[in-house]
Structure 1
Amino acid sequence: MSQLFASPGTPDTPVTEPAARAVGLTKVYGRGETRVTALEAVSVEFDQGRFTAVMGPSGSGKSTLMHCMAGLDPVTSGLTRIGDVELSSLNDRQLTRLRREKVGFVFQGFNLLSTLTTLENITLPLRLAGQRPDRAWLDTVVATVGLADRLAHRPAELSGGQQQRVAVARALVSRPEIVFADEPTGNLDSRSGAEVLGFLRDSVRELHQTVVMVTHDPVAAAHADRVVFLADGHLVDELYEPTADRVLDVMLTFETRDRRTP
């Protein structure tokens, strides 16, 4: 990878099992003339207790990487792990259980149930798993995302930013090993988006959560500890302690390269 944008302040962290890892990950869609290689031999690790952003031009493979590493989409070759569990070794039932117990999801669409209150939406994954919430942890999560006075409200009574905060709380309430967020601020105005990014940041800093966020926005990426960059299905660069300007500088190199490509 290029060292041009590497930070001299790359954090020194204890050697621990990554929260998630891909080794030689390749994902191909279609066959023959319709064959598209979305990811090619991508190897990447996401450290525990860190906030990582995944960026790249449209079609670079950002969301495909997230879907494969979260077990939402099977890989063509290579391996993906959540903790020490290799996803390809699991059958459908085991994979569903792993996603339910070890992975949290936050999507661009809030995916809340309109007939449920905020509290019911937050605790839905636990209820589906036949579990009762840890009240102390639930209170901590609700306080972190600032929803204590909105627990009886239904989604239609909440702003877009508040709805996404509910989605963040829902992702955190089961104490997952890792949270994957796919363009979580894409449907929000700048103020609401900044609030949600702040809550994701707080979940890492205060709740020791691991977050991987796919985004196209340099300002959003600047909330992360680290940014990894994809282009044409390859991992091409990374940046620690990012700022929006530094992220934008990296992204501009992709545009310059594309203009020079015949």
Structure 2
Amino acid sequence: MIFSKKHDSTDDLDAVDKRFRQQASWTIAFQQRVLSLLPNRKINILEVGCGTGSFLCSLQSIRNSADIHWVGLDIAYDRLAYAQQRIIADWVNGDGMVLPFPAETFDLVICHYLLLWLKRPCQVLTEMKRVARLGGWIVATAEPDYLSRIDYPDRFVDAGKAQTEALRAMGANPQAGRELPNLFHSAGMEDPLFGIHGTEYQGDEYQNFLEEESRQLKNDIGNGKTIETTIGRVFYVPTFYAIYQKWSK
């Protein structure tokens, strides 16, 4: 069920969902870690900025039972309609800056590659804290830091810089990752646990990763440039996470 209707996007939803599924695959181990924090009882889980539901679907593949009430919220109605076709959850069309839920409703409030796209990420985090129960968790799963990216050999650096600037032009904050601990602090969540996701690749898995990132770079900068998938190619964007357990209002 989808509650309300506010905005549609203009995206190719199949392409968007494919990208979201790829991003969700990068944080599987972290998702397992977060879900292991939750009690074995009836719980409510909210994803803010759920898009086409790919990340929520990934969470469900790790831990799903009749005792979990899943809720996904997004401002784009058509993305929620897309999600509803495949995933069982309550889908809410709303704005993360004014979450349409009572205080202390959810055991886990989580987002994934979201804050970098927001003009007021601190406001969204404040709302995420408000709707989390005492003892509940607020988690920003993945926020990249494109200003610390590694492109090697050096002939790839210019294309990397072009992609970073293209993302900035689209409204993204390319250094959202490094700002994550301070954003939590500013939202009233002092001393969150934070870190940077590790990655490792080999063989075909890495080649497939580079091919996907090559296509994404071409889409972002729009001038036909691609990332070569050559032996010795290194592409890395540090991606931060933060976890906070709420013990006060």
Give the TM-score normalised by the residue count of structure 1: 0.28
